[in-house]
Amino acid sequence: VEKRAEVCWRLLQFLEHRCRKNRNLDVAVQHSIWYDYEKIEKDADRMKCLLAGRSCTYGSKDGKFLFDDGIFCFRPKYAKRQLYRVSDSEVLALCWKLGLTDDAADGSPLATGRHSA
Q: Is residue 22 part of a domain?
A: no
Q: What are phi and psi of 29, to 5 degrees?
A: -100, 125
Q: Is residue 23 part of a domain?
A: no
Judged against a pLDDT cut of 80, whether residue 68 lies above it is answered with: yes
Q: Is residue 46 part of a domain?
A: yes
Q: Is residue 13 part of a domain?
A: no
Tally of domains within the chain: 1
Q: Is residue 2 part of a domain?
A: no
Beta-bridge partners for 55: 64
pLDDT band per the 50, 70, 90 thresholds, residue 29: confident
Domain span including residue 70: 37-116
pTM: 0.58
Q: Which residues contact 66 (CB under 8 A, 6 or more apart)?
A: 52, 53, 72, 73, 74, 75
Contact 95, 50 (CB under 8 A): yes
- Across the chain, mean pLDDT equals 82
Q: Is residue 19 part of a domain?
A: no
pLDDT per position as a tens digit, 33-64: 888 889 999 999 999 988 888 888 888 899 99
Cβ burial, residue 103 (10 Å; 0-12/13-18/19+): exposed
Judged against a pLDDT cut of 50, whether residue 106 lies above it is answered with: no
Q: Is residue 31 part of a domain?
A: no
Q: Is residue 86 part of a domain?
A: yes
